A and B are shown apart, each in its own frame.
Chain A
Amino acid sequence: MSVVAGKELRIVGFLCNWCSYGGADTAGVSRFKQPTDLRIIKVPCSGRVDPLFVVRALLTGADGVLVSGCHPRDCHYTDGNFYARRRLEMLKRLLPFVGIDERRFHYTWVSASEGQKWQQVVTDFTNRIHQLGPLHVKKENEG
Chain B
Amino acid sequence: MRVGVFICHCGNNIAGTVDVARVAAEMRKLPGVVYATNYMYTCSEPGQEEIKQAIRKEGLDRIVVAACSPRMHENTFRKTIEKAGLNRYFLEMANIREHISWIGEDKELNTNKAIEAVKMAVAKVMNNKPLYSSSFKVNKRVLVIGGGVAGMQAALDCADGGLDVVLVEKSPSIGGMMSRLDKTFPTIDCSICILGPKMVDVVQHEKIKLYAYSEIDEIKGYVGNYQIKIRKKATYVDWSKCTGCGACMEKCPTRNAYDHFNFGVATTRAINIPFPQAIPKKAKIDPEFCRQFTKGKCGVCAKICPTGAINYEMKDEIVAEDVGAIIVATGYGLFDLDKFPEYGAGRYPDVITGIQYERILNASGPTSGHILRPSDQTEPKTVVFVSCAGSRDKSLGVPYCSNFCCMYIAKQAILTKDHIPDSQSYVFYMDIRSNGKGYDEFTRRAQEEYGAKYIRGRVAKIYPKGKKMVVRGADTLLGTQVEVEADLVVLATAVISAPGAAGMAEKLHISYDTFGFYVESHPKLRPVETNTSGVYLAGACQGPKDIPASVGQGSAAASKVLSLFSKDMLESDPAIAQVNINACVGCLKCVKTCPFQAIKEEVLRNGRKVAKVIETVCAGCGVCTSTCPCGAIQLQHFTDNQLLAEVNAICQS
Contacts and interface: CB of A to CB of B under 8 A. Distances in A.
B416 interface: no
Contacts of B400: none
Given A56-B647, A112-B531, A61 B652 contact: yes
A74 B511 contact: yes
A79 interface: yes
Given A2-B116, A74-B505, A77-B619, A111 B626 contact: no
Interface in B573-606: 575, 593, 595-596
Contact of B509 (A24, A50, A76): A76
Given A39-B120, A56-B644, A78-B596, A113 B69 contact: no
Contacts of B640: 50
A42 interface: yes
Contacts of A25: 69, 71, 95, 98-99
Main DSSP-derived SS at the A contact region = loop
B383 to A, nearest CB: 38
Contacts of A50: 625-626, 640
Contact of B109 (A2, A24, A36, A61): A36
Contact of A77 (B106, B512, B621, B653): B621
Interface size class of B (residues with CB under 8 A): 35 or more
Contacts of B38: none
B99 A24 contact: yes
B104 A48 contact: no
Interface string B96-119: 011110111110111011001100
B440 interface: no
B511 A47 contact: no
A137 interface: no
Interface string B500-523: 001001100101111000010000
Most buried by B among A1, A10, A112: A112
B621 to A, nearest CB: 4
Nearest to A77: B621
Nearest to B523: A29
A132 B105 CA distance: 24
B621 A45 contact: yes
Contacts of B511: 18-19, 22, 70, 74, 111-113
A7 B111 CA distance: 14
B112 A4 contact: yes
Nearest to A42: B70
A60 B647 contact: yes
A79 B595 contact: yes
Interface in B639-653: 640, 643-644, 646-648, 650-653
A76 B620 CA distance: 11
Nearest to B93: A42
A95 interface: no
A28 B650 contact: no
Contact of A3 (B103, B106, B112, B648): B112
A54 to B, nearest CB: 9
Contacts of B653: 1-2
Contact of B643 (A17, A35, A53, A87): A53
Nearest to A40: B99
Contacts of B489: none
Interface string B516-534: 0001000000000001100
A60 B626 contact: no
Interface in A85-114: 87, 111-114
Interface size grouping (class) on chain A = 35 or more
B623 A24 contact: no
Given A7-B109, A34-B103, A41 B622 contact: no
Given A36-B109, A45-B621, A60 B595 contact: no
Interface string A41-74: 1111101111101001100111000000010011
A31 interface: yes
A47 B70 CA distance: 20
Contacts of B651: 2, 10, 12, 56-57, 60-62
B537 interface: no
Given A21-B71, A53-B643, A113-B519, A61 B650 contact: yes
A119 B104 CA distance: 11
A44 B652 contact: no
B69 A48 contact: no
A80 B595 contact: yes
Given A22-B531, A74-B505, A113-B511, A44 B648 contact: no
B623 A28 contact: no
A27 interface: yes
A33 B104 contact: yes
B426 interface: no
Nearest to B637: A44
A44 B109 contact: no
Nearest to B631: A50
Contacts of B126: none
Nearest to A83: B623
A61 B652 CA distance: 6
A60 B653 CA distance: 10
A139 to B, nearest CB: 11
B622 A28 contact: no
B646 A73 contact: no
A38 B116 CA distance: 10
A47 B644 contact: no
B651 to A, nearest CB: 3
Contacts of B95: 25, 40
B127 interface: no
Interface in B376-417: none
B638 interface: yes
Contact of B646 (A3, A41, A49): A41
A4 B596 contact: no
A44 B625 CA distance: 12
Nearest to B114: A36
A70 B69 CA distance: 18
B530 to A, nearest CB: 10
A49 B595 CA distance: 15
B622 A43 contact: yes
Given A10-B651, A29-B98, A78 B103 contact: no
Contacts of A74: 502, 505-506, 511-512
Contacts of A41: 120, 643, 646-647
Sorted nearest first, the 4 A-B pairs with minimum C-beta distance are: A28-B98, A48-B622, A61-B651, A77-B621
Interface of B: 69-71, 95, 97-100, 102-106, 108-110, 112-113, 116-117, 120, 502, 505-506, 509, 511-514, 519, 531-532, 575, 593, 595-596, 619-623, 625-627, 635, 638, 640, 643-644, 646-648, 650-653
7 contacts: A25-B71, A33-B105, A36-B106, A36-B109, A43-B622, A44-B620, A62-B651
Given A35-B104, A62-B651, 19 more contacts: A3-B112, A25-B95, A27-B103, A28-B103, A29-B98, A29-B102, A36-B100, A36-B104, A47-B622, A57-B650, A57-B651, A60-B651, A62-B650, A70-B511, A77-B619, A78-B596, A80-B595, A111-B512, A114-B514
